A and B are shown apart, each in its own frame.
Chain A
Amino acid sequence: MKKVVYKFYYDFEKEEKWLNEMSSKGFALVDFFMGKYTFEECEKGEYIYRIELLENLVSDPKSIEYINFLEETGVQHVASSFRWAFFRKKASLGQFDIYSDVDSKIGHYKKIVGFFSVLAFAEITIGISNINLGTHVHTEISGVNSVLGLFCFLIGIVFVSISLRFSGKINKLKKEKIIKE
Chain B
Amino acid sequence: MEGNIDKIVLTEAVYYILLSIYTPMHGYGIMQNVSELSNGRVNLGPGTLYGAINTLLEKKWILPLIEDLNSRKKEYLITDLGKEIVKNEIVRLEELVKNGKKIRGEN
Residues of A within 8 A of B (CB): 52, 66, 68-70, 72-75, 94-95, 97-101, 103-104, 107-108, 181
B12 touches A104 (CB 8 A): no
Q: For B102, list chain A residues within 8 Å (CB).
A: none
Q: For B43, list chain A residues within 8 Å (CB).
A: 94-95, 97, 100
A108 touches B47 (CB 8 A): yes
Residues of B within 8 A of A (CB): 11-13, 26-28, 31, 42-52, 72-73
A99 touches B45 (CB 8 A): yes
Q: How distant is the Cα of A104 from the Cα of B14 in the complex, in angstroms?
A: 12
B28 touches A101 (CB 8 A): no
Kindly name the residue among A69, A94, A107 whose own CB sees the greatest number of chain B CB atoms within 10 A: A69
Q: How distant is the Cα of A148 from the Cα of B50 in the complex, in angstroms?
A: 43
A69 touches B46 (CB 8 A): yes
Number of residue pairs A-B, CB distance < 8 angstroms: 53
Knowing A68-B72, A72-B27, A73-B31, say if A181 contacts B46 (CB, 8 Å): no
Q: For B52, list chain A residues within 8 Å (CB).
A: 104
A74 touches B28 (CB 8 A): yes
B13 touches A72 (CB 8 A): no
List the 5 closest pairs (A to B, CB-CB), nearest first: A100-B45, A98-B47, A104-B48, A73-B28, A73-B46
B47 touches A72 (CB 8 A): no
B47 touches A99 (CB 8 A): yes
B72 touches A99 (CB 8 A): no
Contact of A98 among B12, B13, B45, B72 (CB under 8 A): B45
Q: How distant is the Cα of A103 from the Cα of B13 in the complex, in angstroms?
A: 11
Q: For A181, list chain B residues within 8 Å (CB).
A: 11-12
A72 touches B26 (CB 8 A): yes
- Extra contacts, 13 of them, besides A99-B45, A104-B51, A104-B52 (Cβ < 8 A), are A70-B46, A72-B27, A72-B73, A73-B31, A73-B49, A97-B43, A97-B45, A98-B46, A98-B47, A99-B47, A101-B11, A104-B47, A181-B11
B44 touches A100 (CB 8 A): yes
User: Nearest B residue to A52 by beta-carbon distance?
Assistant: B47
